[in-house]
A and B are shown apart, each in its own frame.
Chain A
Amino acid sequence: MGVAKYIKNEKDAIKEVIYQSGITVKPAYGPEDLERAGFSYEKDLGAPGEYPFTRSIHPQSYRSRAWTTRQYTGFGTPEETNERFRLMIANGQNGLNVAFDLPTQMGYDSDHPLAEGEVGRVGMAIDSLRDFEAAFKGIPLDRIGSGLTINAVATIMMAMYQAVAEKFGYSKNQISTTPQNDILKEMIGRGAWIFPVEHGVRLVGDSIEYAVKELPKSNPVSICGYHIRESGATPAQEIAYAFEIAKAYIENVTQRGIKPEDFVGRFSFNLNVYGNLWEQIAKFRAARKLWAKMLKEEYGVKDNKNLFLRGLFGGGGSGLTKEQPENNIMRGAYYALGAALSGAQTTALCSFDEAYTIPTPRSALLSLRTLEILMDEVGLRDTVDPLAGSYFVETLTLEMEKKILEEMKEVEKWGGMVKSISNGFVQRKVSRQAYEFEKGLQSGEYRKVGVVPVSEKGTDKDPGTEAAAVELHEYNEAWAEKSKANLKELRRTRNDKDVAETLKGLEKAAKTSENVMPHLVKCCHAYATVGEMAGVFRQVFGEWKEPDFY
C-alpha cells in the first residue's frame, strides 16, 4: 500500500497519477495553481513556529535541535529488561520506551490459560507492582521519562508506574510517563482491545483527567494513525481518523468539566511514513495546520503551545517487502527523508529485515546511520520546511487538507468515531481497501520493486529471487516459569484483605462515573495483579464484540 496508481501507455509514459488518498497529480505545476487554490502565505502557512504551524511547530526546527529517535525495549522478565534499561541510559538515552507482552496488554496474568506461549515474547511480562519494582530498579525516575506501549490496560500501567515511583521515594509530580493509551485505534487496526467502545473511551478519559490533576509531567495519550494506516487506510484517512479519535477523547474529558486548553497540549501523535514521498509530506503539513485550526476554532484553545501537533513520523512496515530485502534499506532512507522534510519531532525507522524477523543489531545500526547521514551529510538540518513555496507541494498540501476534511465529514455523518467503530463502518472501509490494494499488487495494477505480479511469475520478467527466510521472536519457556513462580510467591506473601478491599473500591468506581485511577494506584500498592484489576473491568464492562468487516 501507499504506492500511487500509475496508468502508463505502451511506451511506459505515465498518463495518469492517482495518489492513494484520491488526489490526481498533474505533470507540472506553476504559479497559476497556487492562485487557483487561493493560496495565501499568512492564512495557509504562517511563518515556522507561528499559527497555523503548517511549516513547523518550532521557528528553528532542526537548526536548534536534531530530531530524536526511539528504540523499544522490553522482553522476557522484568529483571532482564532492567539490565537493558540501565545499559541504554549509560549510553546516553534519556527516555525509555517499554514494550509489554501480549498477556499483559490483554489484562491477563502470566498463569492464565490464554497466556500460554506468550509470556515475555513480544515484551515484558508484568503481573504486579513487584515486577515494576524489578524493571525500574535503580532508574532515576525523576530524570528519565518512560513511554509505555500499552492501551487497553493503560490506566493500570500508569497507576503502577506511579506506585513504583512512590515506592522508590519519588513523588507523582516528578515522574513522566507517556502511555500510548489509544484504545480506538486498537479497535481499528491493532487488535489489543478488551472492553466495549464506550468503556474503553471512559478509561482513556479517566487517565487524561487524572494526568491533568495529578501527573503534571505526563502525556496521557498518543493518538496513533500509524496502525490504522497499516490496516489499509489511505494517508488522508490516517489523519482524518486520528483526528476523529482525538475528538472522541476530547469530548469525553470536556464532559467532565475540564477545558481542552488544559489537556490537549499533552496529546502526541504516532503517524506512518511509508509510501509516496510527496503524499506523506503534504499529509504531515496539512495535518499540522488542521490540528491547530481545529483546536483553536472548535475547542477554543488559545495558547499556541497547546496547538502543536507533536509527532513521531516513522515506521512503515507495510511498505517493506520480504522480496529483495536490501531494497528495504533504500526504502527506509527515503521514508526517513520524507519524515525529515515533513518536520517530524521524533522518528523511528523500521529495520530492513523487519518484514520477516526481529531486527538484528546490525540492521538497527543501519537505521540509526540512515538518520545520521540525513542530518549530518545530506543537509536535512539546514533550514526549516525547505519545500515551502513549491508550486506542487503547496497545491498538494491544500488538496490533502480538503481530502482529510472530507474523510472527517464522513465519520461525522456516521455519528462520530465511537459510533463508527461500534458499527464497524471504519473497519469495513479499511479492510476493503487493504483487499483491493493487495489484489492490485498481485495483478500488477500497483507496482512495488521486487514484487512480481502473479501473471509474470515464472516468465522472463520474474527475477526469480527468493524472499528472505522468516525468523521469529525467540520464546523462552523459562520466562513463563519464572513469572508463574513469582505469582505464586506474591499470592503467598501479600495481604489478601488489602487486595480484596482495594479491588472492591475499584469495582465501585468502575460501576459509577468515579475516576478509577486513584483506586488503581491503591490496588497496585496492595499488590493486586494485572489480571485481577483487569478482571474487575471485564466483569463490570464486559468484553467488546467485534462487528463485521466486509
Chain B
Amino acid sequence: METKQKIRILIAKPGLDGHDKGAKVVALALRDAGMEVIYSGLHQTLDQIIQSATQESVDVIGLSIMSGAHLPICQKLMAMMREKGLVHAKLTVGGVIPHQDIPKLKEIGVAAVFPGGTSFEDIINGINNLFE
C-alpha cells in the first residue's frame, strides 16, 4: 500500500470548556477522509498543544473552541508557533465563531475557519486546499 503524503492534524480543545462532541465528530470525519488525526483531549493548555503539535509534526493544528475565546487563544498560539519554529503547521479553528470574527482571525494568521454547522465536505476540502 502506498504511503502517499498524508495530512496529519492535531484536533485540540484548549481551555476549560468541556463540549467535545463537535471535535470528536470532525475527527471521525477526517479519518474517513484519509487523514491521520491526533486528538488532544479536553482541558489543554497552550503549552500542551504546542508540544503535542511539534512532536507529532502535524500539518494542521485544528482548534475546537466553543467558549468564545477564539481571538485571544489564536493570537497567543500563533505567537507560540513562531517562537517554537512550528512554521510548517497551519492553524485552523472551528466551533462557536461569529462571522464577523473570521477576517480578524485570518489577519492573525489563522489559515481557515470552520464555524459550527460547516459540512464535513467543506471542512475536508478546506483543509486539503491549504496544501495545494
Instruction: Give residues in A with beta carbon < 8 Å to B.
Output: 102-103, 105-106, 108, 113-118, 121-122, 186, 189-193, 230-232, 322-323, 356, 431-432, 434-435, 438-439, 442, 454, 467, 469-473, 475, 545-546, 548-550
Q: How far apart are A228's CB and chain B's nearest CB, in angstroms?
A: 11
The answer on a CB contact under 8 Å between B45 and A454 is: no
Bound CA span A434–B17, Å: 19
The number of residue pairs between A and B whose CB atoms lie closer than 8 Å in the complex comes to 96
Instruction: Report if B98 contacts A (CB, 8 A).
Output: yes
The answer on a CB contact under 8 Å between B96 and A118 is: no
A114's contact among B15, B68, B97, by CB below 8 Å, is which? B15
Bound CA span A190–B46, Å: 21
The answer on a CB contact under 8 Å between B16 and A231 is: no
A230's contact among B21, B42, B43, B96, by CB below 8 Å, is which? B21
- Give the most central of A230, A323, A438: most B CB within 10 Å: A438
Bound CA span A122–B66, Å: 12
A114-B43, A434-B24 known, 14 other contacts, Cβ within 8 Å: A103-B16, A106-B16, A115-B16, A117-B73, A118-B67, A118-B69, A121-B67, A191-B42, A193-B18, A469-B98, A470-B115, A472-B98, A546-B41, A550-B31
Q: Main SS of chain B's interface residues?
A: loop
Known: A438-B120, A442-B121, A475-B68. A191 touches B20 (CB 8 A): yes
The answer on a CB contact under 8 Å between B15 and A434 is: no
The answer on a CB contact under 8 Å between A434 and B67 is: no
The answer on a CB contact under 8 Å between B25 and A431 is: yes
The answer on a CB contact under 8 Å between A191 and B98 is: no
The answer on a CB contact under 8 Å between A469 and B99 is: yes
The answer on a CB contact under 8 Å between B25 and A435 is: yes
Residues of chain B within 8 A (CB-CB) of A189 are 21
User: Which residues of chain B in 86-132 are interfacial with respect to chain A, using CB atoms and an 8 Å cutoff?
Assistant: 96-100, 115-117, 119-121
Q: How far apart are A303's CB and chain B's nearest CB, in angstroms?
A: 37
Known: A106-B43, A322-B117, A550-B27. A472 touches B21 (CB 8 A): no
The closest CB in chain B to the CB of A112 belongs to B16
Instruction: Give residues in B with beta carbon < 8 Å to A.
Output: 15-21, 24-25, 27-29, 31, 39, 41-43, 45, 67-69, 72-73, 96-100, 115-117, 119-121
Bound CA span A472–B41, Å: 24
The answer on a CB contact under 8 Å between A454 and B119 is: yes
The answer on a CB contact under 8 Å between A471 and B98 is: yes
The answer on a CB contact under 8 Å between B69 and A117 is: yes
The closest CB in chain B to the CB of A471 belongs to B98
Known: A442-B121, A470-B115. A431 touches B21 (CB 8 A): yes
Q: Give me 16 A-to-B residue pairs in the complex whose CB atoms sit less than 8 angstroms apart, sorted by A's number.
A: A102-B67, A103-B16, A106-B43, A114-B16, A118-B16, A186-B18, A192-B18, A231-B21, A434-B21, A442-B121, A454-B121, A471-B98, A545-B41, A550-B24, A550-B28, A550-B31
The answer on a CB contact under 8 Å between A439 and B29 is: yes
